[in-house]
Amino acid sequence: MTLNDSLDPENWEDFRRLSHRALDDALDDLMSLRERPVWRETPADALARLDDAAPAQGVGLEQVLAEFVRDIQPFGVGNRHPAFFGWAHGAGTPVGMVAELLSAGLNLNCGGRNHVGVALEKKIAAAMAKLFGFPATASGLFVTGASQANFHGVVMARRAALGADVRENGLQGASLRAYASTQAHGCVEQAMDLAGLGTAALRKIPCDADGRMRLDLLRAAIAADRARGDRPFLLVASAGTVNFGAFDPLEELADLAAREKLWLHVDGAFGALTVFSDKLKPLVAGIERADTIAFDFHKWAHVPYDAGFILARDGAAQRAAFAAPAAYLSRTETGLAKGEIWPCDLGPDLSRGFRALKVWMTLRAYGFARLGECMERNCADARVLAGLIDASEEFVRAAPVPLNIVCFRLKHADDAANRALVERLHVDGVAAPSLTRLDGHTAIRCAIFNHRTRSGDVEAFFNAAREAAKAFQK
Ligand SMILES: *Cc1c(COP(=O)(O)O)cnc(C)c1O
């Protein structure tokens, strides 16, 4: 026996056998998704077995893998399953799974320094800038998700409005005002809070019947704020709203932002990546005029969590908002500390993982056009479901279906009945729609994001919902 003080295995061949088995288990699990319920609650005994989460003495990989297969693997959120229709979740891909394995093997810290991980992140930023029609001055950064990316957008807008001084002396009473629609994601409001501007500084502009921000009301709100002596600085447009996938009128908003000298930030968490599809990309016409775009590779591009991105038209503005001098981060002419711009200059994170690899592998392996085709199929299936809802006796549609999300309700039933119906479907493991509120009432929300979902899955969901509806209708 060799004395092994490191954390590497004593017997690499044993370890190789175990890791191959782990990969096989993971593939078997992925390949048999359809045969299992969409979701199962983590049972109490499995949770209890996870209590000893930080033992002094380890149990070794073989036992840990057995524990993973028994107590963790079966109890995920269900987003890989073709009948998962909740929230806005990506489904992941086998390629992404392999990428995560390889990325963990390299264990790169992508905060900075002169290595291929940092270079690859820049390549992705450049490729996305090109797809969105941004100039060569653009730069971008991986973040956890669109919530974080929207926060970055607000911070950049704040820096652009108040200059370098805001970073040293804070707001100093500046009454900045931002604008987003009433359908904007809640993280925009949260970003205002986190950026020290306060949620009240976000004016929520009502939408038209299609869920698009009303330009007349926006213009009036800006004028009223200016008349009061407040300072409009930021316009947040939604490209794909969370409730039902509406797109704000980007061209008109870009005109208005230019006229009013507002920073134009687009929350395109899932909707921005419709640029991958020739059919869908007219929806984001005008996005090339934004100052910043927030989007998620982990939603409609199915890159494994997490892979949010913030893209800035002007890389200098991104650096101006975040770069900070630190002696231990100083750069050299050659060697490992070379590099004018590091990711840590573009955001607050210093240590950060290699999200670029799973995105690069996904885009290279599938090509963005194929991802775009999956989006188109999801939208077509949403229209199928909308048709079924409209023709049904049990349900009524609660919103338009401009993209891949269908909101509807039980006829002749209250909010509680709609909630109960969704809970029933979850608990039975049949399908997983989610809930939202529209026009002051609960609505069932079916978001079709999964590349594995087929029309048959949508029809099966509709039939199951209709069957379950019997129990909840008056
Ligand atoms: C999902 C979503 C967000 C938040 O993104 P995360 O990746 O979950 O942080 C923001 N805006 C919209 C429109 C979304 O759909």
β-pair partners for 441: 438
Q: Ligand 1, atom 2: nearest CA belongs to which residue? A: 269
Distance CA 207, CA 218 (A): 10
Q: How far is CA 282 from the centre of its chain?
A: 21
CB atoms within 10 A of CB 12: 10
For the segment 357-375, the average pLDDT, to the nearest whole number, is 98
Lowest-confidence region among 66-70, 118-122, 175-179, 469-473: 469-473
Going by C-alpha positions, the residue among 390, 386, 471, 465 that lies closest to residue 431 is: 465
Residue 153 alpha carbon to ligand 1 centre in Å: 14
Enter the tokens of residue 82. Answer: 């073709």
- Confidence check: pLDDT of 1 > 50: no
Distance in Å, CA 146 to ligand 1 centroid: 5
For residue 228, report the distance from its CA to the centre of ligand 1, in Å: 33
Is pLDDT above 90 for 471?
no
- Distance of CA 269 from the midpoint of ligand 1 (Å): 5
Contact partners, residue 370, CB within 8 Å, separation at least 6: none
Q: To test ligand 1's pocket by mutation, which of 148, 183, 270, 449 has the most ligand atoms within 8 angstroms of CB? A: 270
Q: Is 284 within 8 Å of 271 (Cβ atoms)?
A: yes
Whether the predicted pLDDT of 259 surpasses 90: yes
Distance 322 CA to ligand 1 centre (A): 22
- Would you list the domain boundaries of the chain? 12-37+41-75, 109-353, 369-469
Q: How confident is the model at residue 474 (pLDDT cuts 50, 70, 90)?
A: low
Beta bridge partners of 247: 239
Which residue's C-alpha comes closest to atom 12 of ligand 1?
A: 269
Q: Which atom of ligand 1 is nearest to the CA of 184?
A: 13
Cα dihedral 441→446→449→450 (10° resolution): 150
pLDDT bracket for residue 55 (50, 70, 90): very high
CB 222 within 8 A of CB 183: no
What whole-number distance in Å separates Cα of residue 312 and Cα of residue 294?
Answer: 9
Question: Can you tell me the distance from the alpha carbon of 418 to that of 444, in angstroms, rounded to the nearest whole number?
Answer: 7
Record: fold of 109-353: Aspartate Aminotransferase; domain 2 (3.40.640)
- The protein residue with its alpha carbon nearest to ligand 1, atom 5, reads 146
Burial 135-159 (b: 16+ CB within 10 A, else e): eeebbbbbbbbbbbbbbbbbbbbbb
Nearest alpha carbon to residue 451 among 383, 376, 384 = 376
Residues with CB under 6 A from ligand 1: 88, 145-147, 185, 187, 240-242, 267, 269-270, 296, 308
CATH number assigned to the domain covering 369-469: 3.90.1150.10
Within 13 Å of residue 347, how many CA atoms lie on the same side as its CB? 26
C-alpha to C-alpha distance for 450 and 456, rounded to whole angstroms = 13
Q: What is the mean pLDDT of residues 313-327?
A: 94
- Measured in Å, residue 243 CA sits from the centre of ligand 1 at 11
- The separation between CA 357 and the C-alpha centre of its own chain, rounded to angstroms, equals 17
pLDDT at 325 exceeding the cut of 90 = no
Question: So what's the pLDDT on residue 2?
Answer: 52
Is the CB of residue 150 less than 8 Å from the CB of residue 267?
yes
**Going edge to edge, which strands form the sheet with 231-238?**
139-143, 308-312, 292-296, 263-267, 231-238, 176-181, 202-205
Q: Has residue 91 got a pLDDT over 60?
A: yes
Residue to substitute in 213, 267, 403 for testing ligand 1 pocket (most ligand atoms within 8 angstroms of CB): 267
CA nearest 211: which of 438, 441, 444? 438
> Is the overall model pTM greater than 0.85, yes or no?
yes
Given ligand 1 and candidates 296, 305, 405, 434, which is best to mutate, with the most ligand atoms within 8 Å of its CB? 296
For residues 162-176, b (16+ Cβ closer than 10 Å) or e, as one string?
beeebbeeebeeeeb
For 183-202, write each residue's pLDDT tens digit.
999 999 999 999 999 999 99
How far is the centre of ligand 1, averaged over its atoms, from the C-alpha of 339 (Å)? 32
CA–CA distance from 450 to each of 45, 84, 92 (Å)?
A: 31, 8, 9
Q: Which of 185, 283, 359, 404 to mutate to test the pocket of ligand 1 (most atoms within 8 A of CB)?
A: 185
Length of the chain: 474
Q: Residue 160 CB: number of other CB atoms within 10 A?
A: 20
Q: What percent of the chain has pLDDT over 70?
A: 99
Mean pLDDT computed over 80-92? 97
CA separation for the pair 25, 30 (Å, rounded): 9
> Average pLDDT of the chain?
96
